Amino acid sequence: MQFLFDKHNTATDITGADATQPTRRTVLKSIGGVGSGLVLGMQLPIAAKADSGAAAVIKGEAGTAIFAPNAFIRIAPNSTVTVLIKHIEFGQGPYTGLTTLVAEELDADWSQMRAQSAPANTALYKNLLFGVQGTGGSTAMANSYTQMRKAGAAARAMLVEAAAKAWSVPVDEITVSKGVIAHEGAGKTSTFGEFAEAAAKLTPPAEPFLKDPSEFVLIGTELPRLDSKAKSTGQAEFTIDADRPDMLTVLIQRPPVFGGKLKSFDDSETRKVPGVVDVKSLPRGVAVYAEGFWAAKKGRDALQVEWDESEAEIRSTAEIVADYQKSAASTGKVVATVGDAEKVLANSGKTVDAEYIFPYLAHAPMETEDCLIEATDSGAKVWAGSQFPTLDQGAVAQTLGLRPEEVELETLFAGGSFGRRATPVADIAYECATAVKAIDRKRPVKLIFTREDDIQGGFYRPMVVHRMKGAVDANGNISAWDHVIVGQSIMEGTPFERMMVDGVDPTLVEGARELPYAIPHLRVSFHKKSLAVPPLWWRSVGHTHNAYSTETFLDELFALGGKDPVEERLRLMGDKHPRLTGVLKAVAELADWGSAVPEGRARGVALHKSFKSYVAEIAEVSEGEEEGVPRVHKVWCAVDCGIAVNPDVIRAQMEGGIGYGLGHILYAGITLENGRVQQSNFDTYRSLRINEMPEVEVAIVKSAASPTGVGEPGVPPVGPAVANAWAKLNGKRVRNLPFLAIDA
């Protein structure tokens, strides 16, 4: 599926007769010359069946043959194997993980493996779970596991066949180990590179043989990350580093309120700033073009702009919350129901009522949003940390009046994202393209967001209000549960709206409507709100607020019934959720739950399933230096994410998710006053500091299931684990986040 965007940034699906399908030669040209060797690609539909056409042989820059059926794998004459990665690398590990899958089935040596980003090409590099080329939802490993293994296995089969023909021996007598092809009887050995050109003339197997997991050599080991050296030495190129001859830097002055529009501007003082080249009005504001960042920044500061706020969101946070609270007082659209919760609650003597308020949250990646576009003779070239190349490529093409295949997009490393670079409206690429168009494509343009642009520019995790009511019976068991969620839809009005069923945005109710606990009377409903404040998925999306509300409310009911939080969770799950009970038992054993806790400290537990992975966490806290904010000393974590392709990467993602989630539940929040965001940088949008990072111990539960997500599932349980520990320490239930109060 391909999407183009009109001047209002509305997506249009052009899949079908009007969608231009790239040729194999177009793809190879976008990859560039790769020298001599074997290039193997597997385009696999969701059913994960490999294509089986004859291999194509083309000429590289050196004039030698290259094999390129689809271009996932390149094998050079020196036997280095480069894997083209269809998922952006912004720290979560796809370069290493996906290359491991290829290397395993190829029987390569890790030292010969390389990785680089694949070009933008939806037909070849789509996310098999989304249908577009993109990274998100912790799907990189999940959607590529079989695909990349088959690519490696097919390459191995072709190399073996080429060797068998050259040595005149049966194929099944040839072995491959650590990148060496051998036939013991003939006393023959060879490297991959020696047979690459011969293999390029063979037909890829339709269904290459895959190893049994018991035969894995590389999968499951802690292989060193392929991107670590470049990032450690400063050789890695991020968009902020990218440069082109005669390039202009652009900063955009955007409306101070969401929904505001440009009325007029005075750029007389701006044009006096040395280095400022031009000033243009754009669909989303006023752009200042300059010879470098600081000139653009000073020029923008000198702008005098008048805005039309007649259709803007000008309410304060308190006013929006009050509106949400009114909706939360009544039952919304029901998405889950068991028994008759309303009747049981009305007749129960021991009940708990709770209201939770979750603020807007910014993503705040260390590298702010940026994009570089240069017009070319044949179209345009884009350099960006693109999380959804399909959408970004389409946005640039539509804006510049090009076809998607005329836009070459090179995905660079990105300094984090947490969802910010995955806007369904491709705002970053779109704005950069409008800036290029406004100067008639005469010079390359690099658009840069300042930290203030990032924090105040919207695309937040939505603000959400929860109303919950629960009851326990005479035996202390939970008898009824009613949960109302009020918030914005992230998917509505975007290309991803097709994933909504019966008007339900799954990102609003995920983790709340499918509780694993056997509660006899339960109802979950939601109210969908529409605001000008743009919502966006934020690391682990709806699971963040839904895990916090459900897991803390659960503990509150356990306390009312006099139940142990671990034992009662296990009882309520029974034998219906073995992987969830598995991680809960594992983390309880890891932390020695029930043992004596140091004086002045308390422990809390939470567990949650998200992105098909299972995570349980226990946090140990004490009173912190800041009033109302706990000091988190340690977090124990158990995760079941299927086959652990690289345990070191999994641990790192759990640690990172815990730190990221912890900082936001303790300190961070976006508040509005008269529609204006009050936070602007890390001094007011507080993040976790290095001295506040707790010790983290991670246990990876062994599993034979296919790999699932690890980039996000570590986030949801940490908030409720800390909150439950805090309540146990001092009896304080925190329902209005963050813990550290922020001025509304």
User: Which of 256-265, 492-501, 543-552, 713-722 shows the lowest mean pLDDT across its residues?
Assistant: 492-501
Q: What is the mean pLDDT of the chain?
A: 91
- Token pair in block for residue 239: 């968009």
Average pLDDT over residues 278-282: 98
- Read off the amino acid at residue 575: D
Whether 524 has a pLDDT exceeding 90, the answer reads yes
Give the pLDDT score at 487.
98
If one compares 744 and 723, the residue with the highest pLDDT of the two is 723
Let me know the angle formed at the C-alpha of 504 by 503 and 506, rounded to the nearest 5 degrees.
150
Mean pLDDT of 165-193: 96
For the chain, helix, strand, coil in percent to 5 are 30, 25, 45
Amino acid, single-letter form, for residue 166? A
Alpha carbons within 13 A on the beta-carbon side of 609: 17
Q: 459 vs 743, which has greater pLDDT?
A: 459
Q: Residue 168 corresponds to which amino acid? A: S
pLDDT in tens, 421-462: 999 999 999 999 999 999 999 999 999 999 999 999 999 999
- Helix pair angle (565-573, 543-561), 10° resolution: 110
Residue 484 one-letter amino acid: V
Give residue 71's pLDDT band: very low, low, confident or very high (50, 70, 90).
Answer: low
Give the CA distances from residue 6 to residues 163, 397, 399, 457, in Å, rounded to whole numbers and listed in that order: 54, 10, 7, 21
Residue 554 pLDDT more than 70? yes
The bridge status of strand 695-700 relative to strand 613-623 is unpaired
- Put residue 27 in one of left, alpha, beta given phi > 0 → left and psi -120 to 50 → alpha: alpha
Q: CB neighbours of 691 closer than 8 A, spacing ≥ 6? A: none
Residue 495 pLDDT more than 90? no
Q: 579: Cβ–Cβ under 8 A, 6 or more apart, which residues?
A: 609, 614, 640, 701, 703, 705
Q: Looking up tokens 């709100």, which residue turns up? A: 529
Model confidence at 13: pLDDT above 80: no
All residues at 6 or more sequence positions from 547 whose CB lies less than 8 Å from its CB, including other chains: 511, 606, 608, 610, 716, 717, 719, 720
What confidence tens digit (pLDDT) does each residue in 592-646 have? Answer: 999 999 999 999 999 999 999 999 999 999 999 999 999 999 999 999 999 999 9
Give pLDDT, residue 720. 98
Q: Mean per-residue pLDDT for 333-341?
A: 98
**Packing angle, helices 389-400 and 427-438, rounded to 10:** 20
Q: Which has the higher per-residue pLDDT, 7 or 196?
A: 196
Bin 240: left if φ > 0, else alpha if -120 < ψ < 50, else beta.
alpha
Give Cα 168 to chain centroid, integer Å.
Answer: 49
pLDDT of 350: 95
Q: Please tell me the least confidently modeled range out of 50-54, 111-115, 338-342, 351-355.
A: 50-54
125-170 pLDDT per residue, tens: 999 999 999 999 999 999 999 999 999 999 999 999 999 999 999 9
At residue 12, the pLDDT reads 32
Contact (Cβ atoms closer than 8 angstroms) between residue 120 and residue 390: yes
Q: How far apart are CA 174 and CA 384, in angstroms?
A: 44
In Å, how far from its chain's centre is CA 167? 48
Contact assessment for residue 73 and residue 200, using Cβ atoms and an 8 Å cutoff: no
Peptide bond into 630 cis (omega under 30): no
pLDDT of residue 61: 56
Q: Are the C-beta atoms of residues 569 and 557 closer than 8 Å to each other?
A: no
**Two structure tokens written together for 275:** 């280095």
Q: What are phi and psi of 169, to 5 degrees?
A: -130, 160
Q: What is the tens place of the pLDDT at every residue in 374-432?
A: 999 999 999 999 999 999 999 999 999 999 999 999 999 999 999 999 999 999 999 99
Residue 708 pLDDT grade (very low, low, confident, very high; cuts 50, 70, 90)? very high
Residue ranges in 469-542 assigned as alpha helix (H): 506-509
CB 670 within 8 A of CB 679: yes
| Cβ neighbours around 175 below 10 Å, total | 13
Name the 3-class secondary structure at 176. Answer: strand
- As a whole-number percent, the residues of the chain with pLDDT over 90 amount to 85
Position 540 pLDDT exceeds 80:
yes
CA–CA gap between residue 40 and residue 82 (Å, rounded)? 10
Residue pointed to by tokens 């919760």: 341
Residue 97: which of 137, 138, 140, 128 has the closest Cα?
Answer: 140
Tell me the mean pLDDT in the region 460-486: 98
Is the per-residue pLDDT at 195 higher than 70?
yes
Whole-structure pTM value: 0.92
Give residue 78's pLDDT: 86
> Residue 651 burial by CB count (10 A; 0-12/13-18/19+): exposed, middle or buried?
buried
SS3 labels along 264-306: EEECCCHHHCCCEEEEEEECCEEEEEECCHHHHHHHHHCCEEE
Query: What's the mean pLDDT in 542-563?
Result: 98
- Helix (H/G/I), strand (E/B), else coil: 435: helix
Q: What integer pLDDT is reported at residue 402 of this predicted model? A: 98
- Listing DSSP states for 306-374 in one string gives EEE-TTS----HHHHHHHHHHHHTS--EEEEEES-HHHHHHT-SSEEEEEEEE-BB----SS--EEEEE
Which tokens belong to 715?
């986030």
Give the C-alpha separation, 620 to 477, whole Å. 26
pLDDT, one tens digit per residue, over 19-62 is 233 332 333 333 333 334 555 444 433 333 323 234 555 455 55
Is the pLDDT score of 120 beyond 90?
Answer: yes
What's the chain's Rg over C-alpha atoms? 27
Q: Which amino acid is at 37?
A: G
Q: Which domains does the chain have, with CATH numbers?
A: 32-224 (3.30.365.10), 239-309+369-448 (3.30.365.10), 317-361+459-730 (3.30.365.10)
